[in-house]
Chain A
């Protein structure tokens, strides 16, 4: 009898001891995690080291860390017009704007797509009260034209847009408008940014509507169709 009682007592003492141990050891961890989370030596990933050493050597020579550029995507050039017909060999082709426009007089009276009777018909145009030649260059159809009359290449389309949309241009310059890719830390790699017409059709610039595709199935959404208790098993086929 007393032996069983003794064993029981010893068991209880062990349990209490274990509880005290568990309760105190994480307290020590808590101090650790708040004050010296970096006590462990920082092991940098391999590409990290490569970029760091590259920028460090640059820093030594220039005094300031060398940074990678922010690359803004540019249109490849003036748009090309797809031809509707085919040649005798059945090939289609595309032509530059100037193919037609160099031999035609610009009609400054055309204000909307609706008054066109030969080409570019059916074009959707929804861009305030501006007209074709507000932006397109009547003297050189392969370039654009700024409000002050200077000609600007299609590649520099952002200069054109920024004349009116200066607020967006300012935000863009500070990363607060327009999508981006690559690095936030330019000492480690470059950043790539979209230009205006990557997202906005210049003729109807409203951002297009989208369809929602991906939906997580969690407790804030529809319940799982096969939701049940897994009782600790790892997957469906284990129980």
Chain B
């Protein structure tokens, strides 16, 4: 008995620690696995939130520049239907492409701008911005006289304008010829088109906000929440790369109103300007107003030393 017992225990003797060891390792592994799974669930929870609002078609959609005309038509039809469903508005989303032989340039007469902010409001309405935050692509900066350093200004001024010791500097996307925002985008969701407009494919943007940090003009905006626009206030003249209502969690910016300007019209902010400070046009047309201004006025660009080469000019007269 004893011998058999010893026999049975002696071969199992080396086994015991192994069995013990195995169960300890299993327990440790199980522990880590649970932790890992927990962390994973926590990490993807925003994705699950987003997935709730993402149809399979949207998820499978490819980059704008790779869409065939048929795919593009499908995408646009889907987006129009979604706008109807989510906002109750009938809209037409165009696919406006650059006009050959066009390079858009903007200029603002700072001697005339009085900081009234009508352009800011016009942008807000034209581009279907969130009503709650009064979002707009334009900031008008009240500047102390004697400097062009926009960081010295303030955007919070109110009341009667213009104030005697100030001038007013409206700043929006400068459609840089060397756009730092485009260089930093890890997924190429933003790029510069032939007419100079820097655009964003809102369906390709992953919302990392690198571009927002890279832009020296603070021109990019992030959609922290779903834009809220009452159906009656939705501007129905939309374009895929422009003022269609953007989804939550993506970056957007001024597109020189390409849904208007690529159809030959003036930008909304220009039409709204009561002082006539804004001038817009095609710099490749040598008879254009904008060319005359560049050739005859003292013209400034913002943060010239950064080498971003803006397509946006400021002048005094």
Residues of chain A at the chain B interface (Cβ within 8 Å):
26, 29-30, 32-34, 36-45, 47-48, 51, 167, 171, 174-185, 187-189, 191, 194, 199, 207, 209-218, 220-222, 224, 230-236
A-B contact count (CB 8 A): 192
0/1 interface trace, chain B 32-56, chain A, CB 8 Å (1 if under)? 0000000000000110011001000
- Could you tell me if A34 and B191 are in contact, using CB atoms closer than 8 angstroms? yes
Stretch binding the partner chain, chosen from B9-17, B260-268, B300-308: B260-268
Contact indicator B191/A183 (Cβ below 8 Å): no
**Docked pose: A11 CA to B29 CA in angstroms:** 17
Q: Name the residue of chain B whose CB is nearest to the CB of A210.
A: B116
Q: Which residues of A contact B53 (CB under 8 A)?
A: 234
> CB-CB < 8 A to B292: which residues of A?
174-176
Residues of chain B within 8 A (CB-CB) of A47 are 263
A29-B66, A179-B274, A235-B226 known; A221+B155 contact, CB < 8 A: yes
From the candidates B46, B139, B290, name the one contacting A232 in the complex (CB within 8 A): B46
Nearest chain A CB to B158 CB, angstrom units:
5
Q: Contact size class for B?
A: 35 or more
Q: How far is the CB of B262 from chain A (nearest CB, A)?
A: 8
- Docked Cα-Cα span, A189 to B249, in Å, equals 37
CA distance A210 to B161 in the complex (A): 5
3 closest pairs, A vs B, by CB?
A: A188-B264, A175-B289, A232-B46
Residues of B within 8 A of A218 (CB): 133, 135, 139, 221
Q: Which of B64, B133, B274 contacts A224 (CB 8 A)?
A: B133
Among A33, A171, A216, A234, find the residue whose CB has the most chain B CB atoms closer than 10 A. A216
Which chain A residue shows the least CB distance to B266? A184
Supply 22 A–B pairs (Cβ within 8 Å), ascending by A.
A26-B187, A40-B68, A40-B72, A48-B263, A174-B296, A181-B266, A183-B264, A183-B265, A184-B281, A188-B264, A207-B275, A210-B116, A210-B160, A211-B160, A213-B118, A213-B121, A215-B117, A216-B139, A220-B155, A221-B155, A232-B45, A235-B228
B29 — nearest CB in chain A belongs to which residue? A4
What residue of chain A has the Cβ atom nearest to residue B153's Cβ? A220
Main secondary structure of the interface of B (DSSP, over half): loop
Contact A230 B224 (CB under 8 A): yes
Binding site for A on B (CB under 8 A): 45-46, 49-50, 53, 63-69, 72, 94-99, 107, 109, 112, 114-118, 120-121, 124, 133-136, 139, 155-162, 186-188, 191-194, 218, 221, 224-226, 228, 248-249, 261-266, 270-271, 273-276, 279-282, 289-290, 292-293, 296-297, 317
Chain A interface helix/strand/loop/mixed: loop
Cross-interface CB contact of B293 among A44, A45, A174, A181, cutoff 8 Å: A174
* List of B residues within 8 angstroms of A167 by Cβ: 317
> Which residues from chain B contact A179 at a C-beta distance below 8 Å?
271, 273-276
Contact check: which of B120, B191, B221, B275 meets A33 at CB < 8 Å? B191
Among residues of A, the one whose C-beta sits closest to the C-beta of B121 is: A214
Given contacts A40-B97, A216-B139, could you give 5 more A-B pairs where the C-beta distance is less than 8 Å? A29-B65, A211-B160, A218-B133, A233-B49, A234-B225
